[in-house]
Amino acid sequence: MPMSIATAYQPESHRLLTIEELPDAVGDSLGELIDGRFFPMLPTGWPHASIEARMTSKLQQYVDANPVGVVLAGEIGVIIRRDPDTLRGADLAFVSHDRLARASPSGYLDVAPELVVEIISPNDRWTEITAKLLDDYFSIGVELVWILDPRSRRVSCYRSPTELELRGAGDTLTAEPMLPGLRLSVADLFGKTPEASSVAAKSAETAM
């Protein structure tokens, strides 16, 4: 979940936080640590949660049938770098068994997942943060990032910070070679949300 509130929260002025200090410093507050500064986040709305649940279910079904790794959901903490520390919160991620075997047995994920999925919320300022987000993920070895936009019902597929492919309602998502044979209908991922109804209404008005 990319930061959606621009103001950083610092318990002690001018002192950068480490990942280990986060629980005592901010408690159960949702957010990300970016270069030692904690950025709180708002809870997601139900359309975001619905799409996240759909994606999680479909990826989990694939992994159950093809046990190549694990699906992680619910703002999984991914360690990006240290000194100063950066901890990203991914909506969803897939990590292979090979990579997971090198991860710490508990706590935040300290190996790069192969796939990261982010869902845009209405309060996310993507034009400002996408480049930084992509740089962070790809710098640690993430191979594929999907960014789902409920308003446009499109998925931005990145295999590098500058390699973008857009997928719309009539398209299918694939994740070769990490998830061979996976095929996800973009339209099915978004389902019926307020954003979908709005887009459909506008399309109907345009056609008249």
Q: Where are the domains of the chain?
A: 44-207
**How much is the pLDDT for 43?**
86
Q: Are 87 and 14 in contact (CB under 8 A)?
A: no
Q: Are 87 and 80 in contact (CB under 8 A)?
A: yes
* Residue 31 tokens, joined: 């957010």
Which regions of the chain are under pLDDT 50?
3-7, 199-201, 203-208
**How much is the pLDDT for 123?**
65
**How much is the pLDDT for 203?**
44
Question: Which sign does the torsion angle of CA 197, 55, 147, 83 carry?
Answer: positive
**How much is the pLDDT for 69?**
98
Non-local CB neighbours of 188 within 8 Å, separated by 6+ positions: 54, 58
**How much is the pLDDT for 131?**
78
**How much is the pLDDT for 114?**
99
Whether domain 44-207 has CATH 3.90.1570.10: the reply is: yes
